[in-house]
Structure 1
Amino acid sequence: MRGYDIVLLCNTPEGEFLKDQILAHAPKLRIGHATDLRGLEKLSGQLAPHSRLIAFCTAVIVPDRIIQSFGGNCYNFHPAPPEYPGYRPSGFALYRGEHSYGVTAHRLIRQVDAGEIVAVQRFAIEPEWNNYELAVAAYSVVIDLFRALIPQLATTDRLLPATGDSWGDHTFTRQEYLAMKTIRTPLPQTELEARCRCFDGVFCPVP
């Protein structure tokens, strides 16, 4: 059996949708779909020559050995702009009062959200948005960006050209996100409201 030309790494709901989008441009491609690292490891042993990995809005960290099995021809769609790499950074963008946001497509390398950037698409943040609403908007835009890059991703195995954009200096972590949600001492009302709006609510640990 012929190996996989493209492997998708994404959640289950996106898998069939993204596959259909790719096959509409290149119906002869053989496409695999993994939702977790175990599934990705299995598929990475069944690759066609010049295969490509496409990660889409996933929290799975791809090990370097798997990136190398694709010859480095691996891309990730990150639902945040280059200034905000890392874990769920939309809340921090709101908290800092940003007026615009965006999404990024980049090559996968060993370090998270650090590979060469190949596309960025930006949009305005509406003043009344909370973190959930910003995340939904970013998700919609990252789908648009995926569609825009499909002709290149589906019909050529060449590496996509870099845009010259640079990543932000700080990669946000899950620990930082949870720290903003966790209220251990009394806060001014305005700060409490800002934390709730930007970080999907807060919780107060029992002493």
Structure 2
Amino acid sequence: MIDEKILFIGDSSRWSYSAADCLAIVFRHVDRIFWDHGNEPPSAVENWEGDRLFTFKADLILTPAVLAQVKKTAINFHPSIPDYRGIGGYNYAITEHRPVFGATCHHIVKEIDFGPIIKVLRFPILPSETVDSLRDRTASYCLILFYEIVQRIACGQKLPSDCDEKWSPTLHTRAMLARHEMREGQDSHLLKFQLRRV
């Protein structure tokens, strides 16, 4: 086992628990936090110091002070392609009829979902895809990408630094997603009304 101190922050999904279990096999000291939006922010984060920090499908915003306490790497696994920073990527991708989606691994910086991209793992969106099915499939690709990156670190390999992927300048917020869902709901209601009149 690697004698490093690790902080893992994930949501409460089974995917995050699997990712945390992987770290416990590789590293000797792993602190785990499972947190979902709407819960009280975990106070343990502010006082943590260590070698590496991993966030996995987590919406928790880390302060520059927290990032400064990480000695080696702070890496996020974002459940979306770089076109969609922030939240709601599943919703936007389906609305825009994107042919592919994916998971993005990147270094964490003070700007949300804007650090140097390490790797993007893409997959095709199915014709019958829903937001829920896309969310679940993306989580599985996030976990595959997580295993790959942790394996690289465990083997002493350098992480890719020549990725050509670029982030979109737009940060999608919860307010933006709420407006998007409202518009989609109104459009769906209007379509049903028009079909009833045909």
TM-score normalised according to structure 2 size? 0.81
Q: Unmatched 5+ residue regions in structure 2? A: 35-40
How far is 1:185 from its partner? Answer: 10
Greater strand percent: which structure? Answer: 2
Deviations 1:93-151 (A, max 9, x none): 11111010010000000000000001110000001111111111101111111111111
Superposition pairs of residues 1-207 of structure 1, within 5 angstroms: 5-12=5-12, 13-14=14-15, 16-24=17-25, 26=26, 29-35=28-34, 36-42=41-47, 44=48, 47-48=49-50, 51-71=51-71, 73-156=73-156, 160-162=159-161, 163-182=163-182, 187=187, 188-189=190-191
- Equivalent residues of 2:15, 2:143 under 8 A apart: no
Q: Structure 2 vs 1, CA of residues 190 and 30 (structure 1 numbering), >3 Å: closer, same or farther?
A: same
How many equivalent pairs are there? 182
Counterparts of 2:117 and 2:183, CA distance in 1: 36
Deviations 1:166-205 (A, max 9, x none): 111212111111012225996431799xxxxxxxxxxxxx
Q: In structure 1, list runs of 5 or more residues that go unmatched.
A: 193-207
Aligned-residue CA RMSD (Å): 2.7
Q: SS state of the match for residue 171, structure 2?
A: coil
Q: Is the contact between residue 74 and residue 107 of structure 2 (CA under 8 Å) also seen in structure 1?
A: yes
State the identity as a percent.
20
* Partners of 1:139 and 1:7 in 2: CA distance: 20
- CA apart distance, 1:22: 2.4
SS in 1 for 2:145: helix
